[in-house]
Structure 1
Amino acid sequence: MARDIQVTFDCADPARLAGFWAEALDYRLQDPPDGFESWGQALEAMGVPRERHNDAAAVVDPKGAGPRLFFQRVPEGKQAKNRVHLDVRAAPGLMGEARMAALEAEAERLVARGATRLHRHEPALPLDAGHIVMADPEGNEFCLD
């Protein structure tokens, strides 16, 4: 039996990072609990102080196929290269120049939303079809693949 997974990001600004990843993956912010129109309204009803409202955020795949991404505020900043990262499949089925052009277009879109471009790896067939290494707004590395 396959298990559901959640990918958790430690970060400084959960709302900002959740918004970035929702845009990057065509996800959406997780809805507030039933009976509430917004997370702010729900958190106030739960007695969470206003200064703690950005302690966590989550995004979900609207189709229900991908994992939930959870963002939690931590006091320390990112220290080193990620040991685990996401590969964003931005050019499925494409090879060569068409693949790299699709990856470049996605890199530009994400840079406009706060990402940083780190490295481009040219195709080295037969195994590596080429990819672009990026960082999200808080420096977490990911690949456009």
Structure 2
Amino acid sequence: MALRVDLTFDCVRAKVLAEFWKLALGYEDEPPPAPFATREEWVASFGDLEDDGGDGAWLRDPSGVGPRLVFLEVPEPKVAKNRLHIDVRVGRSAGQWAVISAKVAQLVSAGGRVVATFEGHHVVMADPEGNEFCVAA
């Protein structure tokens, strides 16, 4: 049986980041595991988790190819650069820079910000919590 990789992000605002990354990657909310009707019901099944007062969000690639993304709220803010980042690949085409630029504009309108632009190649961005990622062909 092949193993599956999930990417889990500790963050301050799980729902905000989940909405941003759904837009960035075309992901969708992952339903709770059976037999639970909601994520809240599933979380409650773990009992009283004193250290875990935060929210969470679980996303999946609708095609089933990409990794699951999990966003878990933690009380402490980010203090250093991540050692792992996501590359958002928009696909190679004759007008790939226009496609990259359009995706960047969409993500800026959703709360992302441009960190650096490498004209014709890629754009380094930050999501609403400052996690850096790249948009490239």
Give yes or no for the alignment of 1:107 onto 2:104: yes
Q: Name the structure 2 match of 1:138.
A: 129
Structure 1 residues 122 and 2 mapped into 2: Cα distance closer, same or farther (>3 Å)?
farther
In 1, Cα distance between equivalents of 2:74 and 2:46 = 21
Residues 83-122 of structure 1: CA deviation (Å, up to 9, x unaligned): 21110002x1225xx2211111001111111111111102
Unaligned runs of 5+ in 1: 124-129
Superposition deviation, residue 34 in structure 1: 2.5
Scaled by the length of structure 2, what TM-score is found? 0.83
| 1:19/1:29 contact within 8 Å kept | no
Scaled by the length of structure 1, what TM-score is found? 0.79
Superposition deviation, residue 13 in structure 1: 1.3
Q: Name the structure 2 match of 1:27.
A: 27
Structure 1 residues 12 and 2 mapped into 2: Cα distance closer, same or farther (>3 Å)?
same
Structure 1 residues 8 and 53 mapped into 2: Cα distance closer, same or farther (>3 Å)?
closer
Structure 1 residues 43 and 74 mapped into 2: Cα distance closer, same or farther (>3 Å)?
closer
| 2:5/2:67 contact within 8 Å kept | yes
The CA RMSD measured in Å over matched residues stands at: 2.3
- SS of structure 1 residue aligned to 2:116: strand
Which of 113, 116, 119 is the matching residue for 1:116? 113
Q: How much identity, in percent, do the aligned residues show?
A: 42
- SS of structure 2 residue aligned to 1:52: coil
Number of residues paired by the alignment?
Answer: 134
Superposition deviation, residue 20 in structure 1: 1.4
| 1:6/1:70 contact within 8 Å kept | yes
Which residue identity does 2:104 align to in structure 1?
A
- SS of structure 1 residue aligned to 2:80: coil
In 2, Cα distance between equivalents of 1:43 and 1:83 = 29
In 2, Cα distance between equivalents of 1:84 and 1:41 = 31
